[in-house]
Structure 1
Amino acid sequence: MSSPNSHQKTAERSPQKRLHPRNHHNQGYDFPSLIASHPTLAPFVFNNAFGNLSIDYSHAEAVKHLNAALLTYHYQIQGWDIPEGALCPPIPGRVDYIHHIADLLGVSDQNNNIRMLDIGIGASGIYSLLASHCYGWQCVGSDINQTSLNNVATILNKNKTLERLVTLRHQPNPHQIFEGIINQGEMFDVSVCNPPFHASAEEASKAYQQKQHNLKLKTNTNSLNFGGSAAELWCNGGEKLFLKKMIRESQVFAEQCRWFTSLVSKIENLTPSIKLIKKLGASDIKQIDMHQGNKITRILAWTFQ
């Protein structure tokens, strides 16, 4: 789950933020350049208490325009936008995932022979957009929400180079992950996923309110950067059950995907997931820690090949 708080920590840390070495955002945000590339960001930028340019990270529109500016300036992705209420991802952390996956695959530059499956691409399309731009990978993005897929299609239509690299597929069955998406005989080098974090809408809302309280951020209901549909933020059983389903289903497609990967937000879900992967006979399991300020996000990767 992303939040304005995680975006803020990424944006305004010192250079020793320990993002991936190829991450454009290791030195923070260059707001003058971002405004030049995306002028509609300008009204949201101000000098904070430390005399640095910043935005109000609890303001959904401000964060959305920051994302659009980052994607335009650093990644030449034009016209990025998301519907009201959709999850707004922190770009530095999302591109970090892609860079680490490139390392997992042994890729450091453009390679359009790599095929990536993006499970739950969401309305932002962020992983497929970044992977196709940064590395030239062919991406297939799946989602149970047709509205989300339509939004990504609109973004791709404005970026013809990426449109040729990204294919969108609707998952009609919310209880399936790979089934119904991976075609017979189709091969992928890797799958990526950011699972729904919470078990219910109520749990998600309470967690967000507590985080806002802890960080003493303004909680004006007109500016909450909460966002996210049921598919993006919560599902029955939360992250733990989603990971269990994904791991079990991955065994069925063991010969069609070289590496399966997923973010694991809750550390208590890591050990049971690894135990299940071992039980199902995986030949290799890797835990990749992404250090983003004081926060550590884990990528779990496994293969049966």
Structure 2
Amino acid sequence: MDSKKKKNVLHPRNIHQAGYDFPKLAEANPALNDYVIETAFGTTSIDFANPKAVIELNKSLLFAYYNIQNWSILRNSLCPPIPGRADYIHYAADLLAKDNDGVIPTGSQVQVMDVGTGSSIIYPILGERIYGWSFLGTDIDATVLNHARSLVKKNSGLSKKIVFQLQENRQQIFEDVLRKDDYFHLVVCNPPFYKSREENWQKTSKKFHALHKNKESLPVQNFGGHPNELWCEGGEKKFVRDMINESMRYKKQLGWITSLVSNKENLPPLIAVLEYNKASKVEIIPIAQGQKAMRILAWKW
């Protein structure tokens, strides 16, 4: 298992290592100017406790660095932190390179499944723009996928490489999505982290007050999120465990299977399931996610 990466250090290939170039970002998206502030240290930033500011920052990053125009998310959808999501893609690329004589495979022949793609379709966007990969984005929400399709149509080059499939059975992940002749070199996933609305609210409140020092302010979830994006019965531990168990039925159709894991205490029982079922490879990859420590759990049968 690999855990060499230092906490909160972006991947060496991540173009966001130097931080945010706000003049460049505001030039790409003038609407960002309304949210740019000067910090107590005399630096330029935005109020990360303001959801509108975070969305405009994302629009700026996607246009300035990835040539994505007219990006948007459905109201109250999860708004992904771009540098952290790019890190996931880069480390996933490193996994693929291990099976390709150390060379990262690029181009449309690389097939990737994004489980729970969401209305932002951030992993397909970044994976296609950085490495030219092809994606199947799955979700249990038809409205989300309709929005995702509209984003693809608005941006040149995406429609031939990003397609979507509705998962009609909320209890399944790969079943009824994988066809008999499908093969995916990589699976990525940002699972629902919380067990319930109450747990989500507690964590949101703590995070909000860490960003916003006014304790009287009503907590706002700055990165948003629909219920099915944020919580499910059993939380991320059950979701990823189900993902592991179901993936065993498709060993010949799936290469590296990966998922973000927010709570490090969930790793030992998940690894135990993988080891018990004799996964051929298991890796834990620490990943930068702002001030929050995250990790990718990756396995291969």
TM normalised by structure 1 equals: 0.90
Are 1:26 and 2:17 an aligned pair? yes
Q: Which residue in 1 is equivalent to 2:170?
A: 174
For residue 52 of structure 1, report the CA deviation from its aligned partner: 1.1
Q: Which residue in 1 is equivalent to 2:183?
A: 187
Are 1:260 and 2:260 an aligned pair? no
1:1-305 to 2 correspondences below 5 Å: 18-106=9-97, 107-108=103-104, 110-218=106-214, 220-221=217-218, 224-292=221-289, 295-304=292-301
Compare relative contact order (CA 8 Å, sep 6+) and give the higher one, 1 or 2: 2
Q: Cα gap change, 1:221/1:152 in structure 2, threshold over 3 Å: closer, same or farther?
A: farther
Q: Is the 8 A contact 2:118 2:144 kept in 1?
A: yes
2: CA distance, partners of 1:294 / 1:59: 17
For residue 82 of structure 1, report the CA deviation from its aligned partner: 0.8
Secondary structure in 1 matching 2:18: coil
Q: Deviations over 1:111-170 (max 9, x none)?
A: 221100000001110011100111000100000011211111111111130121001110
Q: Deviations over 1:159-203 (max 9, x none)?
A: 130121001110001100011111112100010001100011121
1: CA distance, partners of 2:210 / 2:227: 24
**Greater alpha carbon shift after TM alignment, 291-300 vs 88-97:** 291-300
Aligned residue identity for 1:125: I
Q: Is the 8 A contact 1:18 1:292 kept in 2?
A: no
Percent identity, aligned pairs only?
A: 44
2: CA distance, partners of 1:24 / 1:50: 24
Aligned residue identity for 1:277: L
2: CA distance, partners of 1:224 / 1:196: 15
Q: Deviations over 1:247-277 (max 9, x none)?
A: 0000001110111111111111101111101
1: CA distance, partners of 2:225 / 2:198: 13
2: CA distance, partners of 1:293 / 1:64: 16
Q: Is the 8 A contact 1:186 1:256 kept in 2?
A: yes
Runs of 5+ unmatched residues, structure 2: 1-6, 98-102
Q: Is the 8 A contact 1:88 1:227 kept in 2?
A: yes
Aligned residue identity for 2:24: S
1: CA distance, partners of 2:226 / 2:190: 14
Q: Is the 8 A contact 1:58 1:217 kept in 2?
A: no
TM normalised by structure 2 equals: 0.91
